Amino acid sequence: MPNMEGVDYSKYEHKMDKVVSALSREYDSIRSGRATPAVLDKIMVDYYGVPTPINQMAAVSVSEARILVIQPWDKSTLKSIEKAIQTSDIGINPTNDGSVIRITFPQPTEERRKEICKQIRKYCEESKIAVRNARRDAMEVFKGMKKKSEITEDDLKDIETDIQKLTDKYVKELDKLAESKEKEVMTI
């Protein structure tokens, strides 16, 4: 983004970047029928009274397209990891063979895929709102600068154009992410 003298867009660009990253992580955790370790990212296990992410307690790997294998470094945590997965919202029962936990992801039905796509679009729309909020915050700052006569009316119009271009760029990125995830879900 071109910077005018004394005008810095990087703060707002960084905010918008964070929104895209957050959406990407959110999409990684959506259970789409493929085994992906990111599905477990939000699950916390009670490890000696401390909520701990599974990936800090065990090796998580994909053994086949639809099977995740969780191999705890401390075998005594096997039951608590299994319990945490069962009580989570991923909706899959793990199998415990005494040394590893396996999670088999079923083939999603057409109806389930459509539900997932709705969820994907909802997350995308929420992210677009966050990007627009960053634009609004930027414009409030620059309008304040105009009121204090730190920038001219023409500068403000140029800034507004630049901030809108930046917003459009990030909205387009969010749409591409959503489109890509929907395509992935519908072609499982």
Q: Which residue has the higher pLDDT, 56 or 36?
A: 56
Q: Is the pLDDT of residue 48 over 70?
A: yes
Residue whose structure tokens are 């140029």: 158
Q: What does pLDDT average to over the chain?
A: 87
| Tens digits of residue pLDDT in 70-107 | 999 988 889 999 988 888 877 778 888 888 999 888 78
Domains, the chain, ordered by start: 10-28+109-186 (1.10.132.20), 37-104 (3.30.1360.40)
Instruction: Give the whole-angstrom CA distance, residue 105 versus residue 93.
Output: 9
